Amino acid sequence: MAEITYLEAIREALAEEMARDPQVFLIGEDIGAYGGAFKVTDGLLARFGPDRVIDTPISETGFVGAAAGAAHMGMRPVVEMQFIDFISCAYDMLTNYVATARYRAFLPCPMVVRGPSGGYVRGGPFHSQNPEAAFLHTPGLKIVYPATAEDAKGLMKAAIRDDDPVLFFEHKYLYRRIKGVMPPGDHIVPIGKARTARAGTDVSIITYAATVWKSLEAAEILAAEHGISVEVIDLRSLLPMDDEAISATVRKTNRVLIVHEDTVTGGIAGEITARINETCFEWLDAPVRRVAAHDVPLPYAPALEDFVLPQTADIVHAVRWLAAY
Amino acid sequence: MRLTRSLEERLVNLYRQTKVVGGLFRSLGQEACAVGSAFALERRDVMSPLIRNLGSMLVKGATPVEVLKQYMAKGDSPTRGRELNIHFGDLTDRNFVGQISHLGDMVPVLAGIALSFKLRREPRVGLVYVGDGATSTGAFHEGINFAAVQRAPLVVVVENNGYAYSTPTANQTAAESFAAKGAGYGIPGVRADGNDVLEVYGTTRTAVARARRGEGTSLLEFMTYRRKGHAEHDNQSYVPAGEGERWAAENDPLDRYAARLLGEFGCEETELATIDAAVLAEIEAATDAAEASGFPEPSEALRGVYADPAAMPSLWYRGDKRAAVDKSERAAGAWGTFDG
């Protein structure tokens, strides 16, 4: 089997699910003839036709709401945000309508909202965001954010088949840089299950998305230069979160660093820290610490963006601090 | 118009030299919309440009060196490296407000700016630009409706250039025209030839005068054509063959205005050549100045989130280090520029 990119893995998942289930359709801006701003849906219009790859006006509230309506009727829409930064335009529809539909009105909303997320690409404040934490606080939604091509495919297929709304964050820095060989057959990665990206014994890093790769890079440096054995847990799903995997790694290494690209205050690391505190306090040999973005809007200039976002050197520094505690 | 076009051509050169850090957005073929409408404003009036309104900003007093530094992410750019391309403004002197990427959002903001003029009895006017795409947003609708209800002194300019990214206007609205939507808000809606700079100027002037007289909001639709892609990386595969070439050959706003200047207004070729030479000299000097200026200090990233405190703290793992990375963790060439 040939390697394909993270981006191609998502496209493959969309195509397979569309072929499998005629209720699956795609909706979003410039996804048809143009194939999407990042070409994720390239070729799908030609293959499935305009009834299943629907170009929309610039109306995020409108097409998220329309997707919810179609989902109520048994269809399985996959909505593209051209950049995930624009999901804020549909925040009302997602949090007030979509997330509550099952609970308050017994209306299933099996839909996926996906889009390119994240920084390290000089995109400036409106093409680099990581808004996952804003939705973690909304019961009724599920959230996934894959780091590998295999997970991108397997989680997308799981998200489309899920009976509840799933926000599917894709990291645009990983789109064409990360490749993988897809497992044969109907490859599904269950929502809510973390994976061990690297096994280790001294310090655990709990992370997701692009910072998985920075953490792995740091783990290499820490092993080679400092003799520290680092375990890297890739959460993959943020809501629901894999508490068992978190607990297991804490009990194994007793020292935990949480790394994410989103800003530190109110970020998901705070929630993970609270869970560890509540369930594994006596297993800790050091305080749980966080490496995340500084609390500023993400700036455009390379020197500024590099300063704001977590870098490999920061992870190395933080793990050494934890190991020495 | 010449300055707009030549400055963008210089930016293309710099982009190809990878000196433009992010994407590059052109307004080729739309210069008359931007320039003609902005000329109808006074200095005290407030304008909000969209991504194709470099010309409007230049009329409002933005300088080529500011634009070049902004694109090149320089430390002394108008946003000190924080924002991209023409996302900048000056509300203290020249009176234009920088846009954000979320389309339509500037319409309610300018409605509020215009409302402040009405509330304070100031004879000033607001003007906000949107494209055909932004008219589909909730923010556009809510903003223009609110301005209309308040009879705020606001002019809303829809530049109908045929495409929003790859989406043709026919997929954006089922309405016959954007001007027709004025009726739905109870305000005048006027459509004009966006590639005739004098018609754009005259149409905008009428709407601005109406607003200044206290008669409220107007919607203007200027018909034009986006000859380049959404951004420089866009290959326009979705555009029918020959369409752009036809507009370039038959309906170029600079050619049309030059023809009128030489014919109707009795200008000499040498006068136009002198203007072109002056524009190129200005861009040359601006490029030198922009290239000479430095990139921002990394720790500047922490300043300016709030009035108080002036700077956010550096996170614990950085210690007293000023830069995140000594040079860059990236292998040379591995991190491409962003083109969204």
A121 in reach of chain B (CB within 8 A): yes
- Give the alpha-carbon dihedral of A89, A95, A99, A101, to 10 degrees: -90
CATH T-level fold of A3-181: Rossmann fold (3.40.50)
Instruction: Give the torsion sign (CA, A178, A183, A184, A187).
Output: negative
| Residue of B126, B127, B125, B135 lying closest to B104 (CA atoms) | B135
The predicted structure's pLDDT at residue B211: 98
**Where, residue-wise, is CATH 3.40.50.970 in chain A?**
3-181
Which of A299, A311, A314 lies at the smallest CB-CB distance from B82?
A299
In chain B, positions 238-257, which contact chain A (CB-CB < 8 Å)?
Answer: 238
Residue A222 has phi, psi (to 5 degrees) of -65, -35
Give the mean pLDDT of B232-244: 94
- Average per-residue pLDDT in chain B? 93
- Rounded-to-integer distance, Cα B277 and Cα B288, Å: 17
Nearest residue in A to B75, CA atom: A301
Q: Which residues on A lie below 8 Å from B84 (Cβ)? A: 123-124, 300
A63 in reach of chain B (CB within 8 A): no
B14 in reach of chain A (CB within 8 A): no
Cβ atoms A309, A295 nearer than 8 A? no
Give the mean pLDDT of B1-5: 98
- Average per-residue pLDDT in chain A? 97
For the domain spanning A195-324, the CATH number is 3.40.50.920
The predicted structure's pLDDT at residue B328: 39
Write the pLDDT tens digit of every residue in B167-196: 999 999 999 999 999 999 999 999 999 999
pLDDT above 90: percentage of residues in chain B: 93
B174 in reach of chain A (CB within 8 A): no
Is it the case that residue B107 has pLDDT exceeding 50? yes
Interface test with chain B among A259, A304, A319, by most B beta carbons within 10 Å: A304
Geometric angle at alpha carbon B40, from B132 and B57, rounded to 5°:
65
The predicted structure's pLDDT at residue A285: 96
The nearest CA of chain A is from the CA of B250 a distance in Å of 27
H/E stretch holding B158: strand B154-160
Is it the case that residue B335 has pLDDT exceeding 50? no
CB burial string B273-292: b at 16+ within 10 A, e below: eeeeeebeebbeebbebbee
The set of catalytic residues of A is: 127
Is it the case that residue B326 has pLDDT exceeding 80? no
Which of A55, A60, A291 lies at the smallest CB-CB distance from B167?
A55
pLDDT above 70: percentage of residues in chain B: 94
User: pTM for the whole thing?
Assistant: 0.91
B332 in reach of chain A (CB within 8 A): no
Poorest-pLDDT segment among A222-231, B105-114, B310-319? B310-319
Q: Which residues on A lie below 8 Å from B81 (Cβ)? A: 299-301, 303-304
CB atoms within 10 A of CB B110: 26
Is it the case that residue B337 has pLDDT exceeding 90? no
Is it the case that residue B7 has pLDDT exceeding 60? yes
Nearest residue in B to A264, CA atom: B315
Write the pLDDT tens digit of every residue in A153-193: 999 999 999 999 999 999 999 999 999 999 999 999 999 99
Write the pLDDT tens digit of every residue in A108-163: 999 999 999 999 999 999 999 999 999 999 999 999 999 999 999 999 999 999 99
Which of B164, B297, B329 lies at the smallest CB-CB distance from A311?
B329
The predicted structure's pLDDT at residue B325: 45
| Residue B284 token pair | 């040359």
Burial of A59 (0-12, 13-18, 19+ CB in 10 A): buried
Interface test with chain B among A58, A83, A88, A294, by most B beta carbons within 10 Å: A58
Nearest residue in B to A84, CA atom: B102
Collapsing DSSP to helix, strand or coil, A40 comes out as coil
The predicted structure's pLDDT at residue B299: 93
Residues 6 or more apart in contact with residue B100 via CB below 8 angstroms:
A125, A126, B87, B106
Q: Phi-psi category of B165—alpha, beta or left, where left has phi over 0 and alpha has psi -120 to 50?
A: left
Cβ atoms B85, A71 nearer than 8 A? no
In chain A, positions 11-30, which contact chain B (CB-CB < 8 Å)?
Answer: 29-30
Within A9-110, strands assigned E span 24-28, 53-55, 76-80
Is it the case that residue B308 has pLDDT exceeding 80? yes
What is the residue type of B260?
A: R
ipTM of the complex: 0.88
Is it the case that residue A272 has pLDDT exceeding 80? yes
The nearest CA of chain B is from the CA of A248 a distance in Å of 26
- Rounded-to-integer distance, Cα B2 and Cα B237, Å: 28
Interface test with chain A among B166, B236, B299, by most A beta carbons within 10 Å: B166
Which of B22, B172, B336 lies at the smallest CB-CB distance from A57?
B172
Q: Which residue shows structure tokens 């191609």?
A: A8
- Rounded-to-integer distance, Cα A145 and Cα A168, Å: 6
Q: How far is CA A304 from CA A284, A299, B98, B299, in A?
A: 35, 6, 20, 7
Q: Which residues on A lie below 8 Å from B317 (Cβ)? A: 289, 291, 314, 317-318, 321
| Residue A62 pLDDT class (50, 70, 90 cuts) | very high
pLDDT above 70: percentage of residues in chain A: 100
**Structural domains in chain B plus CATH codes:** 2-292 (3.40.50.970)
The predicted structure's pLDDT at residue B272: 96
Nearest residue in A to B131, CA atom: A58
pLDDT above 90: percentage of residues in chain A: 99
> Residue A192 carries which DSSP code?
T
B338 in reach of chain A (CB within 8 A): yes
Give the mean pLDDT of A292-314: 97
Residues 6 or more apart in contact with residue A322 via CB below 8 angstroms:
A203, A255, A256, A257, A286, A289
The nearest CA of chain B is from the CA of A223 a distance in Å of 18
Which of B21, B237, B338 lies at the smallest CB-CB distance from A301?
B21
A86 in reach of chain B (CB within 8 A): yes
Write the pLDDT tens digit of every residue in B89-103: 999 999 999 999 999
The predicted structure's pLDDT at residue B333: 43
A–B CB contacts, 8 A cutoff, strictly below = 168
A264 in reach of chain B (CB within 8 A): yes
Is it the case that residue A91 has pLDDT exceeding 50? yes
The predicted structure's pLDDT at residue B46: 98
- Rounded-to-integer distance, Cα A137 and Cα A135, Å: 5
Is it the case that residue B276 has pLDDT exceeding 50? yes
The predicted structure's pLDDT at residue B78: 97
The predicted structure's pLDDT at residue B298: 95
The predicted structure's pLDDT at residue A29: 97
- Rounded-to-integer distance, Cα A268 and Cα A215, Å: 17
Cβ–Cβ below 8 Å for B324 and A311: yes
Ranges of H-type helices in B51-196: 54-59, 64-71, 106-119, 138-150, 181-185
When computed from its CA atoms, the radius of gyration of chain A, rounded to whole angstroms, is: 19
Cβ–Cβ below 8 Å for B302 and A301: no
> Residue B319 carries which DSSP code?
T
First to last CA, chain A: 45
**Where, residue-wise, is CATH 3.40.50.920 in chain A?**
195-324
The predicted structure's pLDDT at residue B173: 96
| Residue B140 token pair | 């556009």
Q: Which residues on A lie below 8 Å from B102 (Cβ)? A: 85-86, 88-89, 126
| Residue of A141, A179, A183 lying closest to A163 (CA atoms) | A141
| Residue B318 pLDDT class (50, 70, 90 cuts) | confident
Is it the case that residue B130 has pLDDT exceeding 50? yes
Q: Which residues on B lie below 8 Å from A120 (Cβ)? A: 335
> Residue A21 carries which DSSP code?
-
- Rounded-to-integer distance, Cα A45 and Cα A53, Å: 6
Is it the case that residue B338 has pLDDT exceeding 90? no
The number of residues making up chain A comes to: 325
| Residue B99 token pair | 């846009």
Give the mean pLDDT of A197-213: 98
